[in-house]
Amino acid sequence: MDSTVTSASEENVWGGGNKPLGASYGKLMMWFFLVSDALTFSGFLAAYGFSRFKFIETWPIADEVFTHVPFFHGNFPMYYVAFMTFILIMSSVTMVLAVDAGHNNKKNAVIWYMFLTIIGGAIFVGSQAWEWATFIKGDYGAVETKGGRILQFVNADTGERVALSEFAKTLPSERTGHQRKNGVWFYDEGFLPSYTVNEVMAGLKVNSDVVIRTEQINEEGEKTVLDHAASLEKLKDGVLVVEGANLVRNEYGSRLFADFFFFITGFHGFHVFSGVVINIIIFFNVILGTYERRGHYEMVEKVGLYWHFVDLVWVFVFTFFYLV
Amino acid sequence: MAHEHKLEIFRGLLKFKSNTSKIWGVLVFLSVVTAIEVALGIAKPAVLTGNSFLGMKLLNWIFIILTLVKAYYIAWDFMHLRDEKTSLRRAIVWTPIFLVAYLVFILLFEADYVYNVYKDGFVKWNF
């Protein structure tokens, strides 16, 4: 190693040992990884923008989709996502404090701040799991047309969403879910919606206060609501009842919306998860005194960079997925 | 790793006594910005949604600008870019900014074109 170290007085630039960027190898590599990861996320968000601009007049409105808060009933657009954002920023702060304590070689402070960071990350991942579950389950249900457009139902007077179960009739029908034991071949039917299109149609005919809301966004930035006669006409195009969301179809609107939701928040959630795992590893290393013996806490700083990056990405996901 | 920290934010308008108090200061600032974003997102003032600039609503411009402000303070103060050498900072920041700006520009233009094809062309998709 001696032969590669240059002293400050030596003029040999290419002899090695120079630090033109004033950062250690590990830190630089972490930064370069983060730059490339930032480009991956940008690719996803740009693709989201592409699909959204392509269907700019029919794209779902996010604050009509994400309206739930755990343990509370009602319509609370954005509140829970704002809470998640705050949790992540907060855990970013405890991470910076851990790095700062590391610079001052305060082992116990680093342990506590790392612990709080891990808790924050766990709350965030849990919240995201809950958000996914709510999104997949859906709440009102909708009808999909031949062309793959989504028809939702609202109250004609109040404009509030109406669930299928509130107006659809139950017609006698022999259609039951195909189960594995009944088939010649060993596959079963995934999921049969609670109602058929005919039942929704029959319900719509007798409930004159229920009307259809199409995907089309009007001049005021709201979804177009049809009158009752037009709703009945429009429902004739319906072929499928959609409840909840998966990668193929969803009750919120454009199919791509759910795809991007799963993909972008999923990729981000995976980053948070791996960040929590790495934080736990470093946490135990700190407790065991690894960095105390090494003489510096730069490793904490490096995982800190990764953790802040996850927060940084969430800031963008929050804006482009939930706000804009 | 004896770093000296630069302790002033807002271009020297606000100078903190220690690195810890700067961290809390930045947290307060980020929380306020997030609160403003959420409040605007729920209230949706008609002035901001009714008017647009360069084909996008003023409200969305505000959201994007506030996001970039937040990103700046996360990167500069939480990720210590403020304390790094200028050359490192530029390499890290301008490379993605250039590539992303280019990608977003071409993709959004293309998407707008596709939108017009669906709208004015003879493509039936809303049935």
Which is more confident, B54 or A291?
Answer: A291
- For chain B, the domains span 1-83, 85-127
- pLDDT tens per residue, range A125-168: 999 999 999 999 988 999 999 988 999 999 988 888 899 988 88
Q: Do A93 and B27 touch (CB under 8 A)?
A: yes
Taking the CA of residue A120 as centre, how many other CA atoms within 13 Å lie in the half-sphere pointing to its CB?
25
- What global pTM score does this model have? 0.88
Q: Which of B52, B80, B83 to mutate to test the interface with A (most CBs of A within 10 A)?
A: B80
Tell me the sheet residues that pair with A240: A144
Spell out the alpha helix ranges (H) of chain A: 25-54, 62-65, 79-103, 107-137, 164-167, 197-206, 228-235, 255-260, 266-288, 290-294, 298-317
Q: What is the rounded CA–CA span in Å between residue B74 and residue B90?
A: 16
pLDDT at A3 over 70: no
> Which residues of chain B are within 8 Å of residue A18 when distances are taken between CB atoms?
none
CATH class of A23-138+257-323: mainly alpha
- What ipTM does this complex have? 0.90
Nearest chain A residue to B55 by CA distance is A53
Q: Do B84 and A312 touch (CB under 8 A)?
A: no
Confidence of residue B2 (pLDDT cuts 50, 70, 90): very low
Q: What is the rounded CA–CA span in Å between residue A261 and residue A268?
A: 11
Segment A185-190 shows an average pLDDT of 68
Q: Which of A89, A212, A226 to mutate to test the interface with B (most CBs of B within 10 A)?
A: A89
- Residue A175 DSSP label: -
Mean pLDDT lowest among A41-55, A63-77, A83-97: A63-77
Q: Are A105 and A297 in contact (CB under 8 A)?
A: yes
Q: Are A228 and A156 in contact (CB under 8 A)?
A: yes
- pLDDT tens per residue, range A241-280: 999 999 998 999 899 999 999 999 999 999 999 999 999 9
Nearest CB among B3, B84, B111 relative to A50 is that of: B111
Q: Do B3 and A103 touch (CB under 8 A)?
A: yes
- pLDDT tens per residue, range B59-86: 999 999 999 999 999 999 999 898 889 9
- For chain A, the domains span 23-138+257-323, 142-243
pLDDT at position A173, please? 72
- pLDDT tens per residue, range B85-126: 999 999 999 999 999 999 999 999 999 999 998 888 877 777
The backbone torsions φ and ψ at residue A143, rounded to the nearest 5 degrees and listed phi first, read -115, 135
Q: How far is B41 from chain A (nearest CA, A)?
A: 6
Segment A18-44 shows an average pLDDT of 91
Q: What is the rounded CA–CA span in Å between residue A112 and residue B71?
A: 26
pLDDT at A226 over 80: yes
